[in-house]
Amino acid sequence: MLTRGTRGIPSRVIRLVDWKLVERYEDRGVYLYDLKIYIGELNDLAFSQPSRLQAMYQQFHAWYREVDAEFLQSKDRWRPKG
């Protein structure tokens, strides 16, 4: 599991064998890719693979809690003081 930006968009990413789940910070979008078939991440399978998406999402968030990682917030939630 890793956390990094994807294509210049701040994201969290989990990869399990050939499957990759991307959760973007800015729009809270969640995307699922089968890298064995679509290495270029052009075909989002989130809607056609809802059980896989849910399982990976839950596993990823459980890992975040286990290591006591902080979830970043999108910029629209940040407001300057004053």
pTM higher than 0.85 for the full model?
no
What pLDDT, in 10s, does the model give residues 33-80?
999 987 788 899 999 999 999 999 999 889 888 888 776 655 555 555
Task: Classify domain 2-76 by CATH number.
Answer: 3.30.1120.10
Contacts of 47 by beta carbon, 8 Å cutoff, 6+ apart: none
C-alpha distance across the termini of the chain, in Å: 38
Query: Hey, where are the domains in the chain?
Result: 2-76
Q: What angle do CA 73, 47, 26 make, to 5 degrees?
A: 15
pLDDT at 40: 80
